[in-house]
């Protein structure tokens, strides 16, 4: 019996995650038997490799191996495809035909997307699994067959049963031994290995140097959701290999190839990390502005309580007011954030920067605050400051801002910020 490493080498399987290894171990253990197998897993996880492993490690390896995509065959012809038909059984049946169960006698039949089978076909399939017998369409003759059936699906079979789409007795007959393949997001340690394998394959195919990833790109790749799993990763590597001129791919270059809406495909009661990070960043901006405004109010009140009208601001007081109005909320540069309008009644006001301060006995200041939903300029300014503070280190800057690195990459590209 082949060990795990030999199986991977023979069938070109890349990865060392525990869940993948467990699936391959089960496949190797059940291969010498004739029991039915149901392989489950999301689309693109490589379910089609498990039936091949089972067939090649069984005593049926010299027999036929036929893979059938049940979802790709029209409902009106699938019975004929699987079980065959006699001449004249239906319009266009000009002769008799053997079905896959007859052709694969002594071998293995792989039924991919088995949940797509019509209910009538499910009844026929159940009879084959239980008795090894079937009848061609348009015939009354019973035919015996000795076929090993391995099925696969990416659907939730319990939900399919509850909705009346799939027979419960057929499910139990198919899944004598269930094998589950993990999604790519649960195999983070394998993602970069797969990327390198695909990059080398496409470099050889298109006769060009292979692409490679920087550390930040690797982290971005490993933290991505991958709803399309291995198939999606392979397509991404091919796109980058052909489109990008440079061979070293960093996070900023990689990010546009990763669809943002990917994480919303799988329902969850918790919002995605992306949306939560942006929301928290928005709140952070608003709370910072509120705190700065409160500081300004406190300072102005202290000044108004000073005796007399001819008071002078010290250097620290001027700096606080100037920072709040000219740096944090510059009206001319950021008209869409918060605009402050002062209305005074006394001609003896003191002006500091953009702030007009009245003497205590004449103070009748009224402040109108108009709040807008646009915070792009403020957001851009904070991102620049965080990058400058951490000398361009995006990971540290993202932690400082309270957002994910992926969000930071997208914002840098969106605002065309030079690092």
Burial class (CB within 10 angstroms; exposed 0-12, middle 13-18, buried 19+) of 301:
exposed
For residue 345, what pLDDT band results from cuts at 50, 70 and 90?
very low
| Residue 232 CA to its chain's centroid (Å) | 10
Query: Model confidence over 215-226: pLDDT tens digits?
Result: 999 999 999 999
Average of per-residue pLDDT across 113-126:
96
Collect all residues with Cβ–Cβ distance below 8 Å to 395 and sequence separation of at least 6.
216, 405
Helix axes 18-30, 4-11, angle to 10 degrees: 90
Mean pLDDT of 63-70: 96
The larger pLDDT score, comparing residue 361 to residue 88, is at: 88
The structure tokens 């195919």 sit at 205
Residues in the chain: 419
pLDDT recorded at residue 401 = 81
| pLDDT value at 158 more than 70 | yes
Q: Are 303 and 311 in contact (CB under 8 A)?
A: yes
Contact yes or no for 99/82 (Cβ under 8 A): yes
For the cut 70, the answer to whether the pLDDT of residue 94 exceeds it is yes
Side-chain half-sphere exposure of 350, counting CA atoms within 13 A: 16
Which pLDDT value is given to residue 378? 77
pLDDT of the residue at 312: 56
pLDDT at residue 284, as a whole number? 60
Helices then strands, each counted (H, E), the chain: 17, 13
The rounded distance, in Å, linking the Cα atoms of 404 and 277 is: 7
Q: Once rounded to an integer, what is the mean pLDDT over residues 97-103? A: 95
Query: Any alpha helices (H) in 208-306, and if so which ranges?
Result: 215-222, 229-243, 251-254, 273-304
Q: Cα–Cα distance between 70 and 82 in angstroms, integer?
A: 10
CA–CA dist 146, 128 (Å, integer)? 9
Helix ranges, 92-228 (H): 100-103, 119-131, 157-162, 168-174, 188-206, 215-222
Element (H, E) at 54: helix 49-56
Q: Which band of pLDDT confidence, cut at 50, 70 and 90, is reported for residue 243? A: very high
- What pTM was computed for the model? 0.62
H or E stretch including 408? Answer: helix 405-415
Q: Taking every pair of C-alpha atoms in the chain, what is the biggest distance, in angstroms? A: 114
Q: Quick check: 334 pLDDT over 50? A: no
How many Cα atoms within 13 Å fall on the side-chain side of residue 134?
Answer: 28
User: What average pLDDT does this structure show over 141-162?
Assistant: 96
Find tokens 């006699």 and name the residue: 86
Nearest Cα to Cα of residue 157 among 136, 137, 173, 145 = 173
Which pLDDT band holds residue 305 (cuts at 50, 70, 90)? low
Q: Please compute the mean of the pLDDT values over residues 399-410 and round it to a whole number.
A: 80
Mean pLDDT of 409-416: 81
Task: Give the pLDDT band of residue 280 (cuts 50, 70, 90).
Answer: low
| pLDDT surpassing 50 at residue 358 | no
Angstrom distance (rounded) from CA 270 to CA 268: 5
Once rounded to an integer, what is the mean pLDDT over residues 188-211? 96
The per-residue pLDDT for range 103-114, each reduced to its tens digit, is 999 999 999 999
CA 99 to chain centre: 40
Question: Residue range 47-72: average pLDDT?
Answer: 96
Do 211 and 241 contact (CB within 8 A), yes or no?
Answer: yes
């Amino acid at each position: 019996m082949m060990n795990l490493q030999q199986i991977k080498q023979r069938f070109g399987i890349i990865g060392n995650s525990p869940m993948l290894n467990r699936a391959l171990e089960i496949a190797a253990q059940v291969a010498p038997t004739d029991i039915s197998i149901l392989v489950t897993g999301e689309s693109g996880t490589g379910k089609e490799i498990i039936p091949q492993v089972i067939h090649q490690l069984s005593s049926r390896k010299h027999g036929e191996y036929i893979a059938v995509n049940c979802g790709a065959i029209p409902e009106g012809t699938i019975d004929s495809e699987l079980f065959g038909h006699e001449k004249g059984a239906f319009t266009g049946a000009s002769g008799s035909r053997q079905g896959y169960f007859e052709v694969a006698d002594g071998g293995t039949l792989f039924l991919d997307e088995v949940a797509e089978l019509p209910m009538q076909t499910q009844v026929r399939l159940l009879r084959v699994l239980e008795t090894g017998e079937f009848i061609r369409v348009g015939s009354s003759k019973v035919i015996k067959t000795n076929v090993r059936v391995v099925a696969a699906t990416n659907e939730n079979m319990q939900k399919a049963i509850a909705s009346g789409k799939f027979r419960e007795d057929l499910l139990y007959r198919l899944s004598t031994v269930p094998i589950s393949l993990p999604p790519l997001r649960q195999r983070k340690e394998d993602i970069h290995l797969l990327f390198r394998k695909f990059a080398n394959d496409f470099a050889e195919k298109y006769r060009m140097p292979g692409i490679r990833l920087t550390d930040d790109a690797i982290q971005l790749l490993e933290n991505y959701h991958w709803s399309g799993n291995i198939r999606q990763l392979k397509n991404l590597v091919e796109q980058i290999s052909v489109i990008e001129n440079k061979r070293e791919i960093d996070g900023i270059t990689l990010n546009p190839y990763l669809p943002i809406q990917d994480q919303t495909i799988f329902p969850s009661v918790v919002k995605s990390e992306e949306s939560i990070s942006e929301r928290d960043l928005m709140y952070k901006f608003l709370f910072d502005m509120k705190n700065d405004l409160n500081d300004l109010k406190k300072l102005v009140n202290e000044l108004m309580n000073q005796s007399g009208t001819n008071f002078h601001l010290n250097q620290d007081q001027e700096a606080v007011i100037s920072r709040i109005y000219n740096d944090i909320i510059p009206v001319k540069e950021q008209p869409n954030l918060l605009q402050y309008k002062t209305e005074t009644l006394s001609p003896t006001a003191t002006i500091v920067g953009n702030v007009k301060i009245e003497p205590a006995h004449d103070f009748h200041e009224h402040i109108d605050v108009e709040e807008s939903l646009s915070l792009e300029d403020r957001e851009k300014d904070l991102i620049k400051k965080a990058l400058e503070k951490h000398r361009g280190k995006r990971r540290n800057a993202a932690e400082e801002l309270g957002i994910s690195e992926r969000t930071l990459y997208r914002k840098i590209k969106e605002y065309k910020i030079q690092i």
